[in-house]
Every structure is written in C-alpha cells, then in structure tokens.
Structure 1
Amino acid sequence: MRQKYHEEEKYYEEEKEIDLLDLVFMVIRRWKVIVLMIIPTAVFGFFFAMTRPSVYQADTTLIVSSGMQSVGLESSDIALNQKLVVTYSEIAKSRDILTRVISKYDLIESPAALGKRISVRPVKDTELIKLTYSCNDPKLAEAVTNELANEFIKKVGQVMKVRNVSVVEKAIEPKSSLPKGRGKILLVSIILGGMLGAGVALLIEFLHKKVRKSSDMEKILGVQMLGMIPEIEIANKGEESHES
C-alpha cells in the first residue's frame, strides 16, 4: 500500500515537472507573439509616462489643541487630539469649504474633484496635522492650500464653538514637481505586455492542439506506450543507387 502511494506521488511530481516544461517550451515556441504584444504596450506606457503633466504639492502645518493648559503632553491628551484630528479632517473636506475655495479662485472642478486633491493627515504622536493640496500650477497650489487652512479654521470655530486650531507653518510655493514615476510606468507596461502575450500564446496553444510528445498520445489512447520509432531520413534515388 505504501509503495503504491509513493509511486502515485512520484507520478504526480513527474506530471508537474512535465507541465512546467511544456509551459517553458510554449513560451519559446510563441516568443514572437509575446514580443509583438510587449512592443505596443511598452510604446503606450512610454508615451503615457512622457506626456504626464507635472503635479505640484503644497502643504501647511496646523496645530490642534484640546484646550488643556499643561506643560507636558500626556498620552491621554495625545489620544484626544488624535480623535479631534479625525473629526477635523472631515470638516476640512466639507462641501461648504470646498465651494468657497472654488468660487474664490474660479477653479474649473467640482467640490468632489477638489476633495480628492486634498489630504489631511496627523503627524504621529503630536498635536499637528498636515493639510496638502496638489495641482498643475505651483502658485495656485500655494494659494489654495493657505485658503483651505483659513477656511478650515473659520469652519471649526463656527461648528465646534472653539478656536483651538491655528497655523504653525504656512504653505509656500513648491519649487519642484512630484516624481512622475516614469521608470515604474514603463516597467509595469512591459510586464503587462508580457502577461498579455503569454495569455494570447496560451489561447493559441489551446486552439491549435498538436501531439508533441509521447505522454500526449498516452492520454489520447489511454494505453501505455511501448516504444518510439525514430525519424529516418530517406535519401534521394540517385544517392541511394550510388551507395548501393
């Protein structure tokens, strides 16, 4: 019984190795298809990477205080301030604030689209929060970020009836754009092209099945193969008579 189990396990391992070899040989046979799929996707990725617009990001730092006057910052105070940060993050992206900013700078985008460009995140283990905004114009990024901060402070005063948010550091005009990641885009496009090419090659192999090895014949006939006849080249009649 144990011997039979080992034989079956060995058989499955051999089948797995054969399948992997079949996959390798399939890639070798259909390398032209794979290359033909990689080339257009790589060209498209290169074109997309080179034509991406520059994006500038400006950020301002705000401080959120719980109103407690203490020399040291206790862990309970930090936890309370972190909860306030989560609440204030939603206030900063409220439709009222976004609509006023859009109206002031004549932005051609909806409040929802503007909200996607805004990021409000806490600075770990502090009372500080970072408010960032990104767009294609560095001067506009600076102006909108500072205006968002001002409108945010006003809104908190109206809603929470407290003034415990203030600006620590105003946004300045960014000097350089965010990384465009052109190399990553090109690499991803090549990988996607290779995957697409491999899929097309597998589809071709599935639609055009051929008997390529003895195991294929065994699967079709359901019997074990006893031997193989090697390929013999037959010479021309003139050469055959000369040799005889």
Structure 2
Amino acid sequence: MEVEETIDIREILGLIRKRIGMIALITLLATGISAAVSFFALTPVYETSTTLMVNKAKDDVDRGIDYQDVMLSQKLVNTYGEIAKSKVVMGKVIKKLNLDISTTQIANKISITPVKDTEIMRITVSDSSPALAVKIADTTAQVFMEEVSRIMNVDNVQMIDRAETPADPVKPRKLMNVAIAAVLGLMMGLGLAFLIEFLDNTIKTPEDVERHMEMQVIGMIPVFEQIEK
C-alpha cells in the first residue's frame, strides 16, 4: 500500500512538472486580470458614520431613569432607524445638499444599524467621494433629528459623534482580490492539467503501457538517427 501511494504522489508531481508552464500561465493571467480590474477599473468606495443616542425626552429628565426607560429607548432605536431612511428624510437631505439623485439611490448609500444592547444608532454612508459621504452622514443625522422632533413631538435624540473624512477606501480590497485571484488561477490551472491528463489515453512511455495495458515491459527498441553517408 505504501508503494502504491508513493507512485501516485510521484505521478501527480510528474504531471504538475509536465504542465507547469500552462499552470503558471493561467495563474499569472488570473492574477494580472484581477490586479488590473482592482487597481484601474473598480471605483473606490469610502465609508464614514455618525452616531446618535436615543434617550428620554427632556421633559422627563427630572423623573430619573429606570430599566423600563432604557428598554423603551432601545426599542425606539429600531423605529427611528426606519424614520431615518424614510422618503421624507431622504428627500430633505437631497434638497439640502443639492444632489441630483433619487431618494432610492441615496437610501442605498445609507445603512442604519443599532449598536447591540445600547440606546445608540449608527448612520453609515458609503460613497465614491469621501467628502460627500461625510456631508450625507451629518446631514441625514440633522434632518432625522428634526423630523423625529416634528413627528413624535419629542426631543430625545442627540448626536454623539460627527462623521469624519475617511482616508482609505473600504473597497475594493485590492491586495485581497489579487491574492484570491492567484489562488483561483492556480486551482484552475491544476484542474485543467488533471483534466487534460485524464482525457489523454495515448501511450507515450513504458509506464503508460504498464498502467493501461497491465503488461510488463520487457524491452524497448531504441530509435537511432540515420547517418547520411
């Protein structure tokens, strides 16, 4: 059994050496295409966020804070998240920033997420322009607070952190894309090499005779070059 396993490994290594040129070419092509697309074709996307806290209405501050107040505020975070991405808020943000996009398009740039087990909600904005991402995040937070005060008739949302201009894009992750492409290219090259070898049933070496015909080779006829007189 150990001999058979050694032979199998040798055959695999021999196949890889035999097709190493093709495998290397496919790997390099995949890596090169991924690098070109990641570095030159894909538009970088920047991300920034602002955080808001939902708490008691100012009129109830003197009453103190209890557990039910905290739980209510946490539930309000989810409700307020829907208000923050409503067409009313999005429309006012577009108008304030003088953007030439629809409410659906700007809503796709924004995500509202509650911070787990807290009264905090995070407004995250993704855009190809880092400066515009900051403006959208801060303006959305401001308009949202105004609309909550108007709709709910309470003033219980405060801004914690304003958005900061991001220095680096969050995507594409260029080096990761190139690394993944290199691995996939290598796998494709190996897979194609094994497929070609599997489909090739021609006999080229004494080992092929022994493997395919189950016959032992007892001799070989050498080929001599004809010497011209």
Short-chain TM bin: 0.7 to 0.9
Residues 17-51 of structure 1 deviation map (CA, whole Å, 9 limit, x = unaligned): 87666555443332222222112221112122322
1:213–1:25: structure 2 CA closer, same or farther, 3 Å change rule? farther
Match of 2:37 among 48, 73, 82: 48
1:19–1:93: structure 2 CA closer, same or farther, 3 Å change rule? farther
Q: TM-score, normalised by structure 1?
A: 0.70
Q: More displaced, 229-238 or 78-87? A: 229-238
1:191–1:119: structure 2 CA closer, same or farther, 3 Å change rule? same
Match of 1:30 among 5, 11, 19: 19
What are the equivalent positions in structure 2 for 1:55-70 lying under 5 Å apart? 55-67=45-57, 69=61
Distance 1:21 1:107 in 2: 65
Show structure 1 runs of 5+ residues with no match.
1-9, 218-224, 239-244
Match of 2:217?
Answer: 229
Q: CA deviation at 1:120?
A: 2.0
Distance 1:165 1:209 in 2: 74
What are the equivalent positions in structure 2 for 1:50-129 lying under 5 Å apart? 50-51=39-40, 52-67=42-57, 69=61, 74=67, 77-129=69-121
What are the equivalent positions in structure 2 for 1:95-244 lying under 5 Å apart? 95-172=87-164, 174=165, 176-180=167-171, 181-210=173-202, 212=208, 214-217=210-213, 225=214, 228-232=216-220, 234=222
Asked if 2 retains the 8 angstrom alpha-carbon contact of 1:78 and 1:125, the reply is no
Residue correspondences, number: 217
Show structure 2 runs of 5+ residues with no match.
none
1:233–1:80: structure 2 CA closer, same or farther, 3 Å change rule? farther
| RMSD, matched Cα | 3.5
Distance 1:73 1:18 in 2: 74
Asked if 2 retains the 8 angstrom alpha-carbon contact of 1:37 and 1:193, the reply is yes
Residues 209-244 of structure 1 deviation map (CA, whole Å, 9 limit, x = unaligned): 345364544xxxxxxx5x612453548599xxxxxx
Q: TM-score, normalised by structure 2?
A: 0.73
Distance 1:115 1:144 in 2: 10
Q: CA deviation at 1:63?
A: 0.7
